[in-house]
Each structure stands twice: as C-alpha cells, then as structure tokens.
Amino acid sequence: MTFRAALLVGLTLLGPAALAQRTPQELAQALQQAARAGDAAAYRNLLAPSGTFTVEGANFAADLARRTPADVTYTFSELGQEGSRADVSLTLTWTRVPEGRGPSEGQASRVTLPVQLVRVGEVWRYAGEAFIPVKTETGSLLALRVPGLPERVSPLAPLLPRAAQEVKNVLGLPVPPDAVVKVYPDSPSLSASVYLSLPPVAGWNEPGEAIKLVMPGGTAAEVEGATLRVLTHEFTHLAVGLAAGPGRDKRIPWWLHEGLANFAARTFVTERGWQAWQSRVNGYARSGWVPLGELADFPNVPEARWDNAYRQGLGVVEYLAATRGKEGPWQLARAFAQTGESDAAARGAGFSSFAALETAARTWLAAR
C-alpha cells in the first residue's frame, strides 16, 4: 500500500467529525447536522470531554434521538476567542411539536444562550452554557452569563442551606454540601438547555447533573418563596437519588419521585396553592385516576398525564405519611430502589400488594 493510499484509508477511518470543527462555525454546523439527524452518538462526540455538561449533554443527545427536531438551526455569533477557549452566543431556532400533535400544530421556538467552546488539539468542542459563580457558603450557585442576572441571583445564596435543611427535616435525607445550582433567566432558556422537546419548566434535575432553576419574578418575598419551593423540590430529587444508590434511583417510579419532591416542599407552598394541589388529587381519586403503573417511567408518560403523575404521586405520599408516619414515604421509595418491583416494594412498606396500596391510597384521597 502506498503512503498516499494509507493516508486516505486513515482519514476515512477517522470519520467526518475528525476532519471538521476546525473553526467554531464548523462546530455549529456539525451540531446542527447531528441534531437534525437525531444522531445521539454523533452529538456526544461533539461535546467537550469534561465538565458537568458532559452528563447533561449526553441526556440532551438522547432526547434528539427520541424526538428529533428536524428543522433546528444552530447559529453562533459574537465570537470571543482566547487561545483554546471561545465564548459565543448560541441561537437555537426549532419547532417544538407537543407530544401527540401533528407537525402543523408545532410551536416556533427561539432561544439565545451564552455558551463556551473548547479546542482540543485542532478540533473545537461544545462545552455548554457559560455561567458566572455567585458567592455562597454551601454548594455552587451559578448564574447564566446574561446582563443583570448574577446581581439578581446573589440574594438566593442563603436559600440553598434552608432548602437542604427542609429536605432533611421532612424526609430525613441529606443534601450534599457540594450541590451545583444553575440559574436561568426564563423557562424557555432552561428547557432548551435540557431537551429541545421539553415544555417550559421552572426547575430540573437528573442524577449526576446540576440542579437548574428559573430566576423567579415578583417582590422579594415572592422570589424567596418561589425559590425555596423549587430548590427544595429539586434538592429532594438529588437527595433521593443519592440515598437510593447509583442506578437504583431509576427503580423508583417517576410518580413517587415527584410526590416526594412536592411533599418535601410543602412549607414553601402557599396555603391556597397547597389546597389547590390537594383538591386536584382528590378529584383524580374520585374520577380520572390514571393507574400508577402507567406513570412510572417519565420518558413514556404522555405530557397530557404529567399532572396526574405530580398530583397522584403527592397524594400517595401524603397518604403514607398520614397512615404510616414520617418514615412511610421513604420506606416505600427505599423498597422500590432495593427491589425494582412494585409488589415487592409494597410488601416492604407493609402492604400485601401494590394493588392493595394503590386502592387504599385512592380510597383515602377520595374520602378526604
């Protein structure tokens, strides 16, 4: 084989990704191409090799394969390069088609995020959003690098230990002191950093990832209350995942994850809001209850049933706390983490079967 032939074979084996991305704009095109193709592996190969976004980016990529945004556009602007790093403004435009709807019912979406790029050798990689650290005594509090947001986020720093202590008080579970919290200016920005298919949400956490929340608006008291509510909710997800153990948190059904998180945040929900939540789940118990087994796996639960998962999960946790004491809710979650099977988990919590637990909880809620 001649040297020229060997070189051509070697370049072919390296693949297109190894030949491209020699400029930030080539990286933007590569990200767009992988996203439009729903090619999760190709997208992951475009990510920087370290940092929190290594995990977040993998989950983002997995969603591209599940619900491919065929018209998404990646545009880099305002490039500021220094050595092997670059700060750019990423504008994403795409059509988000609500689950169960047709393309004609899609919603035009547009989000601009400050992001970072890293050059590895001669190839540029995507490192996720750019943040500014905000001083805090526990954990890491990061504000998306947009004008004015770090100053607005600064008063939230003392709320991190308060939210963590509430999780400890309600569920007996510790929140690690090194928790990372990222704050975004609005729901579309946060959701676009998680999944392009995700509807706007106020908070987010997955195992191994930073907690994400939206900077609330309103008076100082309203901002504090909303932040504590979302932080406590998301800290609960973090604490439950760590207490369950690596991989075992996935054995706990989604409705129970959300029920525990909503229950832990009770102190920071207004009385009117709490009564509305209870009224909703009581109504589901009387009519419209979705079997809990159909609400167990988040990716497979239709968006139209998300409210059922949140409210019914809270109702079951309330039932367990009222009838089995403070340890009741975590006892069931721990049994799920250990066994991964509904009937075995229910027996671990003192019920004859999961059907018996569900029937008892629904009856209690319907009569409340």
Q: Starting at the earlier edge strand, list the strands of the sheet with 107-120.
A: 73-82, 85-96, 107-120, 123-129
In a domain, 264, yes or no: yes
How does residue 271 score in pLDDT terms, banded at 50, 70 and 90? Answer: very high
235/354 same-domain check: no
Cβ atoms of residues 297 and 209 within 8 Å: no
> pLDDT tens digits, residue range 7-55?
333 333 334 444 579 999 999 999 999 999 999 999 999 999 887 788 8
Q: What residues does 213 pair with on adjacent strands?
A: 183, 203
**Same domain for 258 and 318:** yes
Q: What is the mean pLDDT of residues 170-185?
A: 95
Structural domains of the chain, count: 3
Domain membership flag for residue 203: yes
Say whether pLDDT at 211 is over 50.
Answer: yes
For residue 50, the model assigns a pLDDT of 83
The pLDDT of residue 332 is 98
Of 165, 176, 139, the closest CA to residue 232 belongs to 165
pLDDT at 6 over 50: no
DSSP three-state, residue 82: strand
CATH number for position 147: 3.30.2010
Contact 109, 10 (CB under 8 A): no
Residue recorded with tokens 């700060």: 87
Q: Is residue 135 part of a domain?
A: yes
Tell me the pLDDT tens digit for each residue of 114-130: 999 999 999 999 999 99
Q: Does 8 map to a domain? A: no
Average pLDDT, rounded, for the chain = 91
What angle is formed at CA 184 by the lines to CA 52 and CA 90, rounded to 5 degrees?
Answer: 75
The alpha-helical segments, DSSP class H, found in the chain are: 3-14, 16-19, 24-37, 40-44, 53-66, 149-153, 159-171, 187-194, 220-244, 254-264, 271-286, 306-324, 328-339, 342-348, 354-367
265 and 288, same domain (yes or no): yes
Last residue of a domain, one of 108, 129, 150: 129
Cα 43 to Cα 54, 123, 232, 265: the distances in Å are 11, 14, 32, 36
Tell me whether residue 152 is in a domain: yes
Q: Which domain range does residue 219 map to?
A: 131-242
Which tokens in the block code for residue 279? Answer: 């009224």
Quick one: pLDDT at residue 8? 33
Where b means 16+ CB within 10 Å and e means fewer, 154-163 reads eebbebbeeb
Q: Give the pLDDT band of residue 99 (cuts 50, 70, 90).
A: confident
